[in-house]
Amino acid sequence: MLVTVSAYFMGRFGACGLWLQGVGEAALPNCFKLVALLLAVPCFKCADAFFQLAFFGNQRRLRLLGLEQQAHKFELHRLNLRRVSDVNEGLRQVKRGFGSAERAAYR
């Protein structure tokens, strides 16, 4: 339940932050752009906080299932998100980790 609620709010705050970012880039007076920018950053921070909450909730679920050894593979690492290739490599590593955890669960 915690993971579901966290994922819901993560999506809502992320969408709100993107909307405010779009408002900040629109052809509006500068004072509105400043207000939109000042509100967009906390929305993204909240979305990140809910992501971490959902992540740790899933990690706790893995530990409760007795997959503590596999759960260590899913430690939260800060990814260098400067290039798309870095994001793709990070996602490949996560996918490989889930695959190995799935295989270990069926043994």
Q: Which of 42, 49, 40 is nearest to 6 (CA)?
A: 49
Residue 8 amino acid letter: Y
CA of 23: how far to CAs of 11, 32, 48, 103, in Å?
18, 8, 21, 46
Tokens describing residue 8: 């819901």
pLDDT in tens, the chain (107 residues): 888 899 899 999 999 988 988 888 876 788 888 888 888 889 989 998 999 899 888 888 877 776 655 555 555 444 445 555 566 676 777 777 777 666 665 55
pTM greater than 0.75 (yes/no): no
Q: What is the pLDDT of residue 13?
A: 92
The pLDDT score that the predictor gives to residue 68 is 56
